[in-house]
C-alpha cells in the first residue's frame, strides 16, 4: 500500500546518499520529523538540518538527541551557507510535514535558489537527492518546475537521474543529481 511504497522511496533516497565517496558534510534541507537527518547523522561526520517550522525542529532535535554531530537550525534552506561553507551531500524531501499544516510546503523557486548555491558550495564532487510529491496540486506544480530545472543542468558537470515507479500515477519519485567540478 501507500505507506509501504513511501517507506521504499525514502529508503532508496537514503541509500543513494550512502554511495557518496567523501562522507564529511551532509545537509538535510527539509528536516521535518528528522528521519533523514538521523540517518545522515550515522553516516556523515557533520550534518546540518533546516526547517521553517518549530515543530519540525523540535522533532528533529528530539530524534537526534544522542548525535553530537548534528546541527539543527530553524531557518529557510536557502540560508544554509550561513551555517556551513562546504558540503558533500544533500537531501530535499519536498512537500509538507506529515500530519501537520498542509499549507506550509516547500516552494520550487526557493528550492532552485538553494540548489544554485549548493553547486557553489559543493566540495570537488557530491550528490543531492530530491524526493518530489506530484500527488497533490501544489506538489505537482513544484515537481514539474524542479524537474525542468534539473533537466537543464549542464552534462559537463552534472549527471541527473530519475527514479520513478512507472505503473503508479502521480506517485512520489526521486531525482538524484551528481555534481563534479
Ligand atoms: N524528511 C522529513 C522527514 O524525514 O520527516 C520530511 C520533510 S517534509 C516532507 C517537508 C518539510 O519541509 C516540512 O517540514 C516543511 O516545514 C519544510 N520546509 C518548507 N519550506 C522550507 C524551507 N524554505 N526551508 C526549510 N524547510 C522548509
Which residues fall within 8 angstroms of residue 13, CB to CB, at 6 or more apart? 36, 91, 93, 129, 131, 174
- Give the residue, out of 35, 48, 56, 118, with the most ligand 1 atoms within 8 A of its beta carbon, to mutate for a pocket test: 56
- Positive or negative, the Cα torsion across 61, 2, 161, 95? negative
For residue 101, the model assigns a pLDDT of: 86
* Domain count across the chain: 1
Whole-angstrom Cα Rg for the chain: 15
Distance 51 CA to ligand 1 centre (A): 5
Query: What is the full per-residue pLDDT of the chain (181 aa) written as tens digits?
Result: 778 888 999 999 999 999 999 999 999 999 999 999 999 999 999 999 999 999 999 999 999 999 999 999 999 999 999 999 999 999 999 999 988 888 899 999 999 999 999 999 999 999 999 999 999 999 999 999 999 999 999 999 999 999 998 998 999 999 999 999 9
Task: Kindly give the distance from the C-alpha atom of residue 159 to the centroid of ligand 1, in angstroms, as a whole number.
Answer: 25
Per-residue model confidence (pLDDT) at position 44:
98
- Taken as a whole, the chain contains a residue count of 181
Q: What is the pLDDT of residue 2?
A: 79
pLDDT of residue 77: 98
Task: Say which CATH number the domain at 136 has.
Answer: 3.40.50.150
pLDDT score recorded for residue 171: 93
Q: Domain range for residue 87? A: 2-180
Q: Are 30 and 92 in contact (CB under 8 A)?
A: yes
**pTM of whole model > 0.90?**
yes
Q: pLDDT value at position 118?
A: 98
ipTM: 0.94
**Count of H-run helices and E-run strands, the chain:** 5, 7
pLDDT at residue 100 in the model: 87
Helix (H, G, I), strand (E, B), or coil: what is residue 174?
Answer: strand
Pocket test of ligand 1: the residue of 34, 51, 103 to mutate, having most ligand atoms within 8 Å of its CB, is 51
Amino acid at each position: 500500500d501507500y505507506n509501504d511504497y513511501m517507506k521504499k522511496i525514502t529508503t532508496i533516497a537514503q541509500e543513494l546518499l550512502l554511495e557518496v565517496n567523501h562522507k564529511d558534510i551532509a545537509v538535510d534541507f527539509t528536516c521535518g520529523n528528522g528521519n533523514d537527518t538521523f540517518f545522515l547523522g550515522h553516516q556523515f561526520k557533520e550534518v546540518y538540518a533546516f526547517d521553517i517550522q518549530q515543530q519540525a525542529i523540535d522533532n528533529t532535535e528530539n530524534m537526534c538527541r544522542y548525535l553530537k554531530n548534528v546541527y539543527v537550525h530553524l531557518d529557510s534552506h536557502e540560508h544554509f551557507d550561513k551555517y556551513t561553507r562546504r558540503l558533500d551531500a544533500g537531501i530535499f524531501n519536498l512537500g509538507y510535514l506529515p500530519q501537520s499544516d498542509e499549507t506550509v510546503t516547500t516552494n520550487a523557486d526557493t528550492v532552485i535558489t538553494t540548489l544554485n548555491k549548493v553547486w557553489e558550495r559543493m566540495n570537488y564532487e557530491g550528490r543531492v537527492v530530491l524526493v518530489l510529491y506530484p500527488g497533490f496540486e501544489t506538489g505537482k506544480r513544484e515537481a514539474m518546475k524542479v524537474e525542468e530545472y534539473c533537466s537543464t543542468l549542464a552534462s559537463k558537470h552534472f549527471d541527473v537521474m530519475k527514479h520513478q515507479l512507472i505503473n503508479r500515477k502521480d506517485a512520489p519519485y526521486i531525482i538524484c543529481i551528481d555534481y563534479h567540478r
